[in-house]
Amino acid sequence: MLIVASVAVIGAFVNDNILNGDNDAEAASGSTVEVDYTGAFYDYYDGEGNGAIFQTTVKDIADSTSYIHSAGYVEVSSYSAIKFTVGSGNYLSGFENAVIGKKAGDTVKVVIPAGQGYNAADTTKTIANNGFEVPVQQKMSAAEYKTLYGEDATDGTSIKTLYGWDANVTKNADGTIVLTNMASNGGDYDIESGFATVKIHVDGIDAGKIKYTLSVTDSVAVDGKTYSDFHDSFDGNTAEYSAVKMVRVPMYDATASKDTGNSFFAYIIGLGNDGSFEYRTVEEKYNIDLYFTIKVVSVS
């Protein structure tokens, strides 16, 4: 039931109908409950450890600038409580079990360990901080463009790219999109990130390719943990890595075969003492502890 549970807990079963249950009823296996929730990484969203919200059903929390939102934050289609039957398996078991014994109006906080949350194959790799490149003429499908930029491409417009520089958008007759990247040789560009300052320096533009170096500063450590705390091998890399809260950066791989085509997001999770990075390509929510704050709205 992992796939079903994974879909459900991120809001696929949001329900607009509020049930008025018995205020004295305690949730048990088989009870129908409605709850509001806020899910975060690293700590509870209102904790002292800079928790990063990945989803919430509470509009005030979603709109607040007082809280950190993760790079892959997902906005729900309707800010309203979700309804489920305790023990149904439609949600992560740790999420469902957290409300057992609770009444309407109660708030409970629960940590779901990585192994019991969203799981995916370990895609962790290491890479030097230089030698990155992206084509000047970057071709992609319409779906790839929307995945990367969150909207449909508009022919003849200019956008700010994921790399920080501008690009002109061309929509071809076959529906494919071409971005003409307008990077300047020797230019420096910033990438937005909630947990670090990310800069790109263009080292050169040659043979239709923009070559650049990536640097990360002001990152946030993860409880002093290191690369070896999470992995047994170093991919042949002998550098030592300090674990940091995930920093999302764009990457391009001419040989890639991914859902998003040649362009994709990588998440830097470790900084090496030689300037290299440890990164992963699975989304933030996978293989990580999940911190949920759940408020019980009704029990019946």
Rounded to 5°, the CA angle 123-128-133 comes to 90
Q: Judging by beta carbons within 10 Å of its beta carbon (0-12, 13-18, 19+), is residue 280 exposed, middle or buried?
A: buried
Question: Residue 113: which of 95, 87, 88, 89 has the closest Cα?
Answer: 95
Average pLDDT of span 31-53: 91
- Give the span between the Cα atoms of 87 and 267, in whole angstroms: 34
Average pLDDT of span 225-246: 60
The domains of the chain are located at 2-120+287-299, 125-280
CATH class of this structure's domain 2-120+287-299 = alpha beta
Query: Regarding beta strands 158-160 and 107-112, do their DSSP bridges make them parallel or antiparallel, or are they unpaired?
Result: unpaired
- Give the span between the Cα atoms of 182 and 154, in whole angstroms: 17
- Give the span between the Cα atoms of 234 and 241, in whole angstroms: 9
More confident residue, 22 or 300: 300
**Residues constituting the chain:** 300
**pLDDT at position 192, please?**
76
Average pLDDT of span 47-66: 90
Rounded to 5°, the CA angle 99-121-253 comes to 125
Read off the pLDDT band of 10 (50, 70, 90): very low
Q: How far is CA 270 from the centre of its chain?
A: 16
Question: Residue 75: which of 61, 95, 91 has the closest Cα?
Answer: 61
**Per-residue pLDDT reduced to its tens digit, 158-176:** 999 999 999 999 999 999 9
**Is residue 92 predicted with pLDDT exceeding 90?**
yes
DSSP state of 10: I
